[in-house]
Structure 1
Amino acid sequence: MKKLGMIIASISMVLTVITPSMTPHEVHAATNGDVVVNEVAWMGTTVDYNDEWIELYNNTGSAISLDGWTLNATDGSPSINLTGSIPADGYYILERTDDNAISGVTADHIYSGALSNSGENMNLRDDNGALIDNVDAWHEGDNDTKATMERQDPGVAGSDASNWVTSTGSYSEGKGTPSSSNTSGSGGSGGGEACTDTTEHLNQVSEAPDAINVYFNKCAMNQYADAGNEANYNVNLEDRLLKRINAATTSIDFATYEINLPKVVDVLIQKASEGVDVRVIADSKDATDPHYVDRFKTMRLYVEEMVRGKDMVVGTADDIHVFSDSPMLAVEDTNLRADHNLPSSPDDFKERTIMVGNTEMTGYLFVEAEQQSDGTYYSPDNQMHNKFALIDDQWVFTGSWNFTVTGLYGSEENMTNGVLDGNQQHVVEVNSSELSSIYETEFNEMWGTSTLSPSTSNANFGPRKVDNTTHQVTIGGKTVEVYFSAGDDAVGRMAELVKTEADLNTYFTIFAWSDQTLVDELKYKWEGSYQDQQGTRTGFDVKGVFSSDFWNQWWSASVEMTGRTVTGSENNPNIRWANAAPVYKDAEARKLHSKTMLVDADTNSDPTVIVGSTNWSTNGNDVNDENMLIIHDDAITNQFVQEFNARYIQAGGTVN
């Protein structure tokens, strides 16, 4: 297995150094707007959230000395005394702590002091103290994708919110354009226009026994549909989940990596108040990690709503039973609690001091978790990454979609307006008591028991689980395989399938892929060799789209499949393809989040699609809690072809 490392995607900037021998017109005094704060990585990078950086831009045709200039936050941190100069029509990069934030770009200035993720008011002043530019808030940027906030028009100074966008450019450590032109909110990786229809299309939906319904929240290209098999696309996945939960009469088992959708929380609470048995497994986070601190506060407030139930009283019949891989302590901020109509204090929960990993924590414990043999709790380092719901021991609702605002809508405003501008996702729901029973076995292994009350001592998450489920069922004549991580070697089964069952083609969209065996088996299909930079084209067809988040990470299969060498790969066992495959980085507005592989699509050779929550990586296979479905069916696979072609053409690929 390959390890995460640094890569290079940016071109080093040639710095203009101002010397005393330069003539006066080469360096001049600045006026308001001559230099602007052009881009801010207030969220850090995919490598480290502490790797914050700031870019200044010179709007003039002359170099400007920055000696004596300051860039200060009004709250006192950071407080930066600038030196050196910024070249004509050029950039000046400030990196926090050291020069490691952006590979391939040398910092012009190293500063100290963290940028608050909740926002800063920063003033850029010249050596006379005159205000040159101001940034009064983080109007844009994305902490999930590590996409920077960049100025749409660098020629307009000041902090007009409409002049800031979230970058869709890409560099080694995230989304952004350090030391290069801003993306101005357009494009991704420059692909073609696949489809522009935003109307919801529900074409293949059935309530019948053995039904398998597939939903895509982004557009699909139904010109690639088999007759009468047009896909469901531009679908509001929340509506489909609400419909399924609302129909529950006896039980709901709900496993969620993250949740902050108020309608979903409300309907779960309502069903519990009606007497439906509702069990929820929710992934816990590190409450001090800046990546999650605000989101995890929000999630815990919603989870506490569920724990209290409709009457908001702890320990009554309408409460939802919630359990986690690591314990949750209640949020005590009275204003935030008021926003969720919670009691002003959580003191009706027992205040406890507990050991979580190696950390002692004190607070109001309101969600219990798996305990170690000595009674301490496991840390939240591993991820309970599932996103599935089991309804009445009959319906299985699963896929790549996290039950979040970002995952579907992109923003609170979009959610209010019903605009689906979130990450690219898929959902599969199956009407099968046999498949539901298999998922319930997995749920109960994490829960520790089959009853309503979880067991802290019998629960097993992540690598402590065992392979205890059936892996193949027949649903309406279709062979469906199901694998769970950790323990079932789901990605190993994928590699075996490619090796022994893929005859004609493999297409994929993937968020993160580092598994070496899987990419090597696909290399052999493509060019008949497992060796680095060796092989001859076999005629086997490969097409794919990788998340731009990891396109240039040395461990990513994208690097090997395109035959590249990037920083970090020179001294690691990357096995590059001699014949570069037509694979692309995504051109999505937000994340390409699916983990989907199609094998022998649109052929007579057992068309198969692999879907679920599992990234094809060591964590996805051996550490996290995940689920994967392998569906052998030509019609279902063809529906995924329709969505794949939209993503592929948009990314720059060509479909015959």
Structure 2
Amino acid sequence: MSQPSWHRDAMDVCVLVGVGQSELYPAQRSSQAELKLGLNLLSGAIHHWPTRESPELFSMKSGVLALLLGLLTACQAPLAQIQSSGQGAADRWDANAPVQVAFNHNPDQRFTDSLGRDREGDDLEGQLLASLEQAQTSIDVAVQEIQVPRLATALIQKHQAGIPVRVIVENQYRQPWSQRLSGNLSDRERQRLENYRQIADRNGDGQLSPAEIAGGDAVLMLERAGVPILDDTDDGSQGSGLMHHKFAIIDRRWVVTGSANWTASDFFGDPGRPASRGNANHLLWFRSPALAAIFQEEFNLMWGDGPSKLPDSRFGLGKPLRSPKSVRIGNTRLLVQFSPTSPRLPWQESTNGTIARYLTQAQKQIDLALFVFSEQAIADVLEARSQQGTQVRLLIDPGFAYRPYSELLDMVGLALPDRDCRVESNNRPWSSPLTTAGAPRLTPGDTLHHKFAVIDRQRVLTGSHNWSAAANLRNDETFLVIEDSSLADRFRAEFERLYADAFLGIPPALQRRVNEAKRRCGSRITPNSNQDLTETED
């Protein structure tokens, strides 16, 4: 049954005054300005309603009463959702802890997500929100995509309180989603747009009112509030490979980073898929002015003098090469490196070269959970370690695991020619195929979005950096090496969760594809000398 117009108007008032913002505002009192705006909308709605009696409104008096009842009804459920969403998240985020990590599929924790579902996991959205709300002096954000309205609201509130807030996003996600035309989008982007619309559709009527758009489009909210925001075209280019960072610097003291974009898909799941529980992700919090200073340098290079002024922002290969930097936080040692690295420089100096160097040091065990793995030289290092007796276990997102350029194929002893009968240059299927490599079983639509390795239960490699040439040579990326056995245990537990029922080895469907390609190509299989820098990454 469709809702009467008075109920829709009342819901709009809830959105505008901040009463029913289950995903937009934390539970709080509305400001006088917001309340005045809501009352003005009430007045306008009353003015345009019919004054004659009708089944809906018997009189102006009963109409006003109906409005108030509708306002109460419309606001009541979302308000309850605010109070439950992220319950306990602030308690689990400790502002004084030097290092902490959260996994959105952690089986040892439960929370109520922004879609009102009680589920397993750490509340990444709620804990990130709690850390932003602690800001006193500054917030700098560099994240590929910001979609969650509650986080935009937190940034706006700090901006309006006089705290400097600056935001950098990838240029593909700079335009407010409400201004995109679905006819020009790919199927993947059209699905994203539908997710955005469902988050904004507060009353679930399938229609987006101006108030719902104004309170549900995170980038539009930031724009209208005057929060400074730019993207990787502000250097005067068409954009770097991808502005793929996922970090925030708070008060030049905390750094928040990890594998998750600030989206529903990466935190708790797609609204349009009831079974979705979110891409497998993690966030890390570090309390360290020294580490914050390293990230601040990266942010400032990209920011330049800010939006719409001189094109002095520096993205991608426009940034100077900087060697990895080391920091100690209590008993935790970190190494930080930012991508990309010019292909004219030695590969060993790049982030992928750093990854290879640390893998070479492994003695007993390497566990890898990767969204993308397409760097041949790293696969060769893993083969060498495996031949020396190091246990290697690998999981790759199912959407990438069995593509022709995936290094999983090498590791299970296969080569899969592409449609042009080409295989990756220097392709080296392992002579002793790995039986401990495969893809995790995930809810349809969700992905394995991690980019981490655990080495000898002591060392964690992680960040936004996918193990690919694109990340290494084109994208703005973060890469961390963390020496901390307790933290390594947390990452290893996440790996074991994913590994427990994974598809390992060669699936029959993959073997059929390989056999068919061999029949189709025959002796025409040739090496592909062009390094693929265009694979889709998130």
TM-score over 0.5 for the alignment?
A: yes
- Name the residue aligned to 1:62: none
Instruction: Say yes or no: does 1:302 pair with 2:213.
Output: no
- 446, 459, 477: which is aligned to 1:626? 477
- Name the residue aligned to 1:408: 267
- 393, 404, 428: which is aligned to 1:554? 404
Shift of the alpha carbon at 1:454?
A: 7.3
- Name the residue aligned to 1:577: 430
2:264, 2:463 → 1: CA distance?
19
Answer yes or no: is the 8 Å Cα contact 2:93–2:131 preserved in 1.
no
Answer yes or no: is the 8 Å Cα contact 2:368–2:453 preserved in 1.
yes
2:267, 2:474 → 1: CA distance?
26
2:88, 2:392 → 1: CA distance?
30
Shift of the alpha carbon at 1:205?
A: 5.3
Q: What does residue range 196-215 of structure 1 map to in structure 2 within 5 Å? A: 206-208=94-96, 211-215=98-102
Answer yes or no: is the 8 Å Cα contact 2:89–2:130 preserved in 1.
no
Shift of the alpha carbon at 1:634?
A: 0.8
Shift of the alpha carbon at 1:552?
A: 1.4
Shift of the alpha carbon at 1:653?
A: 6.2
Q: What does residue range 164-243 of structure 1 map to in structure 2 within 5 Å? A: 206-208=94-96, 211-220=98-107, 234-243=121-130
2:452, 2:487 → 1: CA distance?
12
Q: What does residue range 500-515 of structure 1 map to in structure 2 within 5 Å? A: 501-515=361-375
Higher helix share: 2
- Name the residue aligned to 1:196: none
- Name the residue aligned to 1:565: 415
Shift of the alpha carbon at 1:393?
A: 0.3
Instruction: Say yes or no: does 1:544 pair with 2:403.
Output: no
Shift of the alpha carbon at 1:469?
A: 6.3
Answer yes or no: is the 8 Å Cα contact 1:200–1:235 preserved in 2.
no
Shift of the alpha carbon at 1:506?
A: 0.5
Answer yes or no: is the 8 Å Cα contact 1:285–1:380 preserved in 2.
no
Shift of the alpha carbon at 1:207?
A: 3.0
Amino acid of the structure 1 residue aligned with 2:350: D
TM-score (norm 2): 0.63
Q: Deviations over 1:531-572 (max 9, x none)?
A: xxxxxxx32101111111112112111000100122338644
Shift of the alpha carbon at 1:522?
A: 0.9
Shift of the alpha carbon at 1:219?
A: 3.1
Q: What does residue range 51-66 of structure 1 map to in structure 2 within 5 Å? A: none
Amino acid of the structure 1 residue aligned with 2:353: G
Shift of the alpha carbon at 1:414?
A: 7.7
Amino acid of the structure 2 residue aligned with 1:542: V
- 166, 175, 179: which is aligned to 1:279? 166
Q: What does residue range 490-505 of structure 1 map to in structure 2 within 5 Å? A: 490-499=351-360, 501-505=361-365
Change (3 A) 1:453 1:259: closer
Answer yes or no: is the 8 Å Cα contact 2:240–2:476 preserved in 1.
no
2:140, 2:281 → 1: CA distance?
21
Amino acid of the structure 1 residue aligned with 2:189: Y
Shift of the alpha carbon at 1:302?
A: 2.6
- Name the residue aligned to 2:377: 517
Instruction: Say yes or no: does 1:320 pair with 2:227.
Output: yes
1:440, 1:595 → 2: CA distance?
22
Q: Deviations over 1:72-94 (max 9, x none)?
A: xxxxxxxxxxxxxxxxxxxxxxx
Secondary structure of 2:500's counterpart equals helix
2:154, 2:373 → 1: CA distance?
35
1:254, 1:618 → 2: CA distance?
25
Q: Deviations over 1:211-242 (max 9, x none)?
A: 110110013579xxxxxxxxxx7111000110
2:266, 2:103 → 1: CA distance?
12
Answer yes or no: is the 8 Å Cα contact 1:220–1:644 preserved in 2.
no
- Name the residue aligned to 2:297: 441
Q: Deviations over 1:107-134 (max 9, x none)?
A: xxxxxxxxxxxxxxxxxxxxxxxxxxxx
Secondary structure of 1:208's counterpart equals coil
- Name the residue aligned to 1:252: 139
Shift of the alpha carbon at 1:467?
A: 2.1
- Name the residue aligned to 1:370: 235
Answer yes or no: is the 8 Å Cα contact 2:270–2:276 preserved in 1.
no
Note the aligned Cα RMSD (angstroms).
3.0
1:203, 1:269 → 2: CA distance?
23
1:543, 1:470 → 2: CA distance?
27
Change (3 A) 1:420 1:271: farther
Shift of the alpha carbon at 1:409?
A: 2.3
Deviates more, 1:237-246 or 1:463-472: 463-472
- Name the residue aligned to 2:277: 421
Change (3 A) 1:553 1:644: same
Q: Deviations over 1:132-165 (max 9, x none)?
A: xxxxxxxxxxxxxxxxxxxxxxxxxxxxxxxxxx
- Name the residue aligned to 2:526: none
The alignment-based identity, stated in percent, is 28
Amino acid of the structure 1 residue aligned with 2:373: W
Change (3 A) 1:640 1:454: farther
Q: Deviations over 1:341-378 (max 9, x none)?
A: xxxxxxxxxxxxxxxxxxxxxxxxxxxx221xxxxxx2
- 432, 447, 460: which is aligned to 2:288? 432
Answer yes or no: is the 8 Å Cα contact 1:220–1:642 preserved in 2.
no
Secondary structure of 1:267's counterpart equals helix
TM-score (norm 1): 0.52
1:567, 1:597 → 2: CA distance?
28
Answer yes or no: is the 8 Å Cα contact 1:221–1:646 preserved in 2.
no
Shift of the alpha carbon at 1:382?
A: 2.0
- Name the residue aligned to 2:327: 473
- Name the residue aligned to 1:159: none
2:291, 2:480 → 1: CA distance?
10
2:378, 2:497 → 1: CA distance?
25
Amino acid of the structure 2 residue aligned with 1:324: D
Secondary structure of 1:554's counterpart equals coil
The gaps in structure 1 that reach 5 residues or longer are: 1-198, 223-232, 310-318, 327-368, 372-377, 528-537, 602-606
- Name the residue aligned to 1:142: none
Answer yes or no: is the 8 Å Cα contact 2:404–2:423 preserved in 1.
no
- Name the residue aligned to 2:44: none
Instruction: Say yes or no: does 1:292 pair with 2:145.
Output: no
- Name the residue aligned to 2:36: none
Change (3 A) 1:220 1:455: farther
Amino acid of the structure 1 residue aligned with 2:475: N
- Name the residue aligned to 1:649: 500
- 235, 238, 256: which is aligned to 1:397? 256
1:413, 1:570 → 2: CA distance?
38
Higher strand share: 1
Shift of the alpha carbon at 1:524?
A: 0.5
Answer yes or no: is the 8 Å Cα contact 1:563–1:580 preserved in 2.
yes
The gaps in structure 2 that reach 5 residues or longer are: 1-86, 110-119, 174-179, 198-215, 342-348, 506-538
Instruction: Say yes or no: does 1:461 pair with 2:349.
Output: no
Amino acid of the structure 1 residue aligned with 2:145: E
Secondary structure of 1:248's counterpart equals coil
Change (3 A) 1:238 1:564: same
Secondary structure of 1:523's counterpart equals helix
2:390, 2:218 → 1: CA distance?
49
Amino acid of the structure 2 residue aligned with 1:490: T
Shift of the alpha carbon at 1:516?
A: 1.3
1:648, 1:254 → 2: CA distance?
33
2:414, 2:157 → 1: CA distance?
54
1:489, 1:432 → 2: CA distance?
25
Secondary structure of 2:172's counterpart equals coil
Change (3 A) 1:221 1:412: closer
Amino acid of the structure 1 residue aligned with 2:358: L
- Name the residue aligned to 2:461: 610
1:424, 1:397 → 2: CA distance?
17
